[in-house]
């Protein structure tokens, strides 16, 4: 059987058919307003359309004023009703890691006691392994240039290693979710090591996870040839995992988790679908764009003066710099306007890491961009809400300082977000909801059928 897609004549045909397919599906943008359809499930002010209820997390970006009008406010994020600032302050003040505690909180709706946290952390550590020969037979057999593709393939393949993959009872789903949460760092780092070995001809170094370490420390241990890291590095990576663990049920990948779970399918298919959502550059890849934008800026600036930075930012908006998309990456958020609480928390630690790495000048550049970009955007465009730095603005800088390669930026996001996805999957199953099936208004004209011989 010939390969339809790899022969030139077929390639030409596909190009022509692609144009035909695209032209046949373009809908007049005015129809959305006529039919009162919210594109992207967001209204004209960017506010999300309510499609469900959740107890897992809450985002607040607006509050009522004295006259009952909604006005922008400092962004707030709650995990199970607890402010994210209080959660972070709790484990930072006690000089311990927070990701396992947050995973417990999101899954079970309460903060663990010391004994419960110890038992849960030990359970997670015991699950931080892969089936025998999985790295050799699955990850190494077909290396990929994209680590999110590696994660999705591996997760789907783990279905075949599960003796009870399709059981959607809560105990079985919880077991599967915890196992995948524990395995995700291994799949990510091993996939990257294999990619570098086969594509860049670097030495292949595969460390075994250390069961005495938590998630953040194990990521650094697995990634680095000598397995070494500083206490500050592990502390800040753990903080990033906490801040990315969950962000309201309305984000694209968590909504995907609810939608796919509602069909009654298995955990592996659900997580693979959520990974596919996160892989999209509009969702999980923004911090990579920030890093590349900053690199381009540094290569095109004579100095880091406010005037030079402002001019470059204006060139970005005018589609004259970087990728010419007219965007200042890391600025603005679909929900937050005045501030992203996650960015504020992370920034308070970024300076410490920059000092340890001798990158204070870079930190100053980031800080200036954060200050100047909202002013430039306000001068250039009419915006319906304020613009502030989001967490992606600083997380890419942090990952760079930690020596994490860009190929792992989004997979690290997935490592963290497995906590939120797991909680949302269990929430959907626990409430016995109906299959999620939104309606689309059909706007195509009715036309008569024409016999084949009469078509032109």
| DSSP state, residue 303 | -
Asked about 199 being catalytic, the answer comes back as no
Asked about 424 being catalytic, the answer comes back as no
User: How does 338-375 read in b/e, with b if 16+ C-beta sit within 10 Å?
Assistant: bbbbbbbbbbebbeebbeebebeebbebbbbbbebbbe
Q: Single out the catalytic residue among 247, 266, 392, 424.
A: 392
Contact status, residue 188 vs residue 415, Cβ threshold 8 Å: yes
Q: Of all residues in the chain, what percent are helix, strand and coil, respectively (each to 5)? A: 55, 5, 40
Q: Single out the catalytic residue among 333, 340, 362, 424.
A: 333
Convert 336-354 into a string of H (helix), E (strand) and C (coil): CCCCCHHHHHHHHHHHHHH
DSSP codes of every residue in 224-259? STT----HHHHHHHHHHHHHHS---TTSHHHHHHHH
Contact status, residue 70 vs residue 90, Cβ threshold 8 Å: no
Sign of the Cα pseudo-torsion (364, 365, 371, 372, in order):
positive
Pairing of the two strands 82-83 and 70-79: antiparallel
DSSP codes of every residue in 13-49? HHHHHHHHHHHTSPPPTHHHHHTT--GGGB-TTSPBP
d(CA 186, CA 25): 41
Catalytic residues: 333, 392
């Amino acid at each position: 059987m010939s390969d339809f897609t790899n022969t030139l004549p077929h390639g030409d045909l596909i190009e022509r058919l692609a144009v035909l397919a695209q032209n046949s599906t373009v809908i007049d943008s005015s129809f959305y307003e006529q039919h009162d359809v919210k594109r992207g499930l967001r209204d004209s002010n960017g506010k999300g359309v309510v499609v469900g209820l959740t107890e897992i997390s809450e985002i607040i970006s607006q509050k009522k004023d004295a006259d009952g009008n909604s006005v922008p406010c400092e962004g707030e994020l709650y995990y199970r009703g607890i402010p994210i600032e209080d959660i972070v302050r709790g484990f930072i003040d006690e000089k311990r890691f927070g990701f396992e505690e947050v995973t417990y909180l999101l899954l079970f709706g309460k903060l663990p006691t010391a004994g419960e946290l110890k038992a849960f952390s030990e359970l997670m550590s015991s699950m931080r392994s892969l089936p025998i020969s999985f790295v050799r037979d699955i990850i190494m057999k077909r290396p990929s240039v994209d680590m999110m593709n590696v994660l999705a393939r591996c997760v789907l393949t783990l279905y075949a290693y599960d003796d009870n993959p399709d059981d959607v009872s809560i105990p079985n789903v919880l077991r599967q979710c915890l196992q995948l949460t524990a395995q995700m760092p291994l799949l990510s780092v091993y996939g990257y090591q294999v990619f570098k070995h086969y594509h860049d001809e670097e030495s292949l170094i595969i460390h075994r996870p250390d069961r005495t370490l938590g998630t953040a420390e194990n990521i650094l241990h697995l990634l680095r040839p000598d397995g070494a890291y500083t206490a500050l590095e592990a502390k800040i990576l753990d903080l990033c995992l906490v801040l990315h663990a969950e962000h309201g049920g309305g984000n694209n990948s968590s909504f995907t988790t609810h939608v796919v779970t509602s069909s009654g399918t298995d955990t592996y298919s659900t997580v693979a679908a959520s990974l596919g959502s996160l892989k999209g550059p509009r969702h999980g890849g923004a911090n990579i764009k920030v890093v590349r934008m900053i690199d381009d800026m540094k290569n095109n600036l004579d100095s880091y003066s406010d005037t030079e930075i402002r001019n470059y930012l204006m060139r970005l908006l005018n589609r004259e710099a970087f990728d010419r998309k007219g965007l200042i990456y890391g600025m603005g958020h679909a929900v937050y306007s005045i501030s992203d609480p996650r960015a504020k928390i992370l920034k308070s630690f970024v300076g410490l890491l920059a000092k340890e790495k001798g990158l204070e000048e870079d930190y100053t550049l980031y800080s200036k961009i954060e200050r100047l970009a909202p002013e430039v955007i306000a001068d250039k465009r009419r915006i319906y809400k304020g613009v502030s730095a989001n967490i992606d603005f600083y997380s890419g800088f942090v990952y760079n300082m930690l020596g994490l390669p860009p190929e792992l930026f989004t997979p690290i996001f997935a490592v963290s977000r497995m906590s939120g996805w797991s909680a949302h999957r269990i929430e959907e199953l626990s409430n016995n909801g109906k299959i999620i099936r939104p309606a689309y208004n059909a706007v195509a004209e009715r036309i008569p059928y024409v016999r084949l011989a009469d078509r032109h």
